[in-house]
Amino acid sequence: MHGVALLGLGNMGSPIYLDNHATTQVDHRVFEVMRPFLIGPTEYGNPSSTGHSYGWFAKESVEVSREQIADLIGAEPKEVVFTSGATESNNLAILGAARAAGKGRIVTIETEHSSVIAAAKALRLEGFHVDILPVEPTGLVDLDRLRSVVNDETVLVSVMAANNEIGTLQPLGEISSICHKVGAMFHTDAAQITGKVDFDVGELGVDIASITAHKMHGPKGVGAMYVRKGRPRVRLAPVIHGGAQERGFRPGTLAPHQIAGLGESARLAKDGLLVGEPKKMASLRDRLLEIVSCAEGVTVNGTMEHRLPNNLNINVSDVDGKALVLALRGVAFSSGSACSSASLKPSKVLTAIGADLSTETASLRFGVGRYTTAEEIESAGQLFVEQVARVRELMRG
């Protein structure tokens, strides 16, 4: 079954939330930072209003957030461009780079987010050559195959830092090196990796990166792009027209309340990395895997070696997937990408890595978050083992 499991029905109360790849709960500290920009008394101005203190205060707050985001990803504040989220950032990176070049080749991989694949396919209609490469069974890009297609006609290579379904961490430094040897730019969708793994755009050689607030306990509807300054110049044609905001890449009135939330979520994510928050998530994830593995027929999709610390994606064989999802209504999880939940098609990521997608197999994605507790992991794991056995018994009739 593909899509998000909407659970916690009837009198069960709130289900245990393990769908943190789809979205995360807004941190209360983020909410408190956002509040004044909505209700004032002096913080609600337009950052572009340069003639009075309301605008000055809003402008200053935007620049503070820009600094916080830059600090998280190893960038300069002037390299941060605000957007509505990673989907817009991905579109601007891919469509903008191609249209600025006017012609050439775009390269990406099968397991990318739908916003990357759709933008790349749209460029085919504009006459660009687009390569969408397969991946290894682990979900990792085949570097030799990548080298074979990236040439001096390549404008941009786009490979996501961490997969949103199976958590695969790509070798970003090696990919950027392949790109730069032929003068191509390297873009990465970093929505899932920020705050979970150290991510330094300078060290990794990234030219453009997409991030979003709601994957790291910030608000929905706001994100940013890292656009490298310096030589060679990163050239992007805007996909929205009508103003000079954000270096001309992304015109439109900025939303200080959302930007303040993004900035605070980035600051907290940086603090979390320093105090070992990812290690805690990995420990909870590994404990969940230990428990669910008590049920027969459980296998991991992807690689545990190169994986987000909060991600677990499993296959369960010899079970009716739809029945199991319904039986696990005490846990909120996903059986595919939230962005594709309206589709009845199998997960393109699991298809790409050759996972078993038969009708008697369930594929489940669990995402640990900042607020996940050890007690919740124990309860969710035990419920899983019990319900797998129950569903199999029902199948045997």
Q: Could you give the residue numbers annotated as active site?
A: 339
CB 157 within 8 A of CB 175: yes
Alpha helices in the chain (DSSP H): 28-34, 36-39, 53-73, 86-101, 114-124, 143-149, 172-181, 201-204, 256-275, 277-292, 321-327, 348-352, 374-396
Q: Are 262 and 274 in contact (CB under 8 A)?
A: no
Residue 259 to residue 264: CA distance in whole angstroms: 9
Evaluate the omega torsion of the peptide bond into residue 41 and state whether it is cis, within 30 degrees of 0: yes
Alpha-carbon span 206 to 190, nearest angstrom? 10
| Residue 261: alpha-carbon gap to chain centroid | 17
Question: Is 185:179 a contact under the CB 8 Å cutoff?
Answer: yes
Burial class (CB in 10 A: 0-12, 13-18, 19+), 35: middle
> Tokens 């003639």 belong to which residue?
51
